């Protein structure tokens, strides 16, 4: 036997879902920047200006072209923190 459920007097809650960000093309990002966004060297990689680990979004507006050295030294630091130390650890943001 199955039990019948009473109709709820409360309206059903609607859960808002986040829409997915528009996809971006690696080739378009690299073409938009003529070189590394940080040092004007040859860009080989993409870097999130506000790192994903710090709440940044994976959208084209948050992605720039970067050389390997700049991308590796920036790691998960914010741009302001990374620039304040000249890309040389220790960083003042404690990460």
**How high is the pLDDT of residue 3?**
77
pLDDT of residue 9: 67
2 pLDDT band (50/70/90 cuts)? confident
Residue 64: helix, strand or coil by DSSP? strand
Residue-range domains of the chain with CATH: 26-83 (1.10.30.50)
Tokens representing residue 15 in the block: 């859960």
In whole angstroms, give the CA distance from residue 87 to residue 83. 6
* pLDDT digits 0-9 by tens, 54-66: 999 999 999 999 9
pTM of the model: 0.72
73/89 Cα distance (integer angstroms): 8
């Amino acid at each position: 036997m199955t039990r019948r459920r009473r109709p709820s007097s409360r309206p059903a809650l609607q859960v808002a879902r986040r829409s997915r960000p528009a996809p971006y093309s690696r080739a378009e990002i690299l073409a938009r920047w003529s070189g590394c966004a940080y040092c004007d060297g040859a860009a080989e990689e993409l870097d999130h200006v506000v790192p994903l680990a710090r709440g940044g979004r994976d959208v084209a507006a948050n992605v720039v072209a970067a050389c390997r050295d700049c991308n590796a030294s920036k790691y998960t630091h914010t741009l302001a923190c990374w620039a304040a130390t000249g890309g040389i650890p220790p960083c003042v943001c404690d990460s």
